[in-house]
Amino acid sequence: MIEAFLENNEEIYRIFFYTARPKNINEIPNVYKTEQEKNNYRKYEEKINDFLERIAIEPYIALRLGIY
């Protein structure tokens, strides 16, 4: 997809992706009160962490993780 934005004589050298991992649910006091809300957040957290692990090994991607 990104290559669609390049001119004919351009090539990708590196794409920097800046983000942070989601907070662990134990570090978020009193936000998620029901078990359903906690389970939803855990699924979200798992998906985001999985995405970050996969994108980190992609060619031309430089993942920079900050602190939340």
Whole-number pLDDT of residue 8: 87
Mean pLDDT of 10-20: 91
Beta bridge partners of 19: 65
- Domain with 49, as residue range(s), is 2-66
Whether pLDDT at 13 is above 80: yes
Whole-number pLDDT of residue 16: 94
Whole-number pLDDT of residue 47: 96
Number of domains the chain is built from:
1
Whether pLDDT at 10 is above 90: no
Whether pLDDT at 3 is above 80: no
How buried is residue 53: exposed, middle or buried, by Cβ count under 10 Å (0-12/13-18/19+)? exposed
Residue 24, SS3?
A: coil
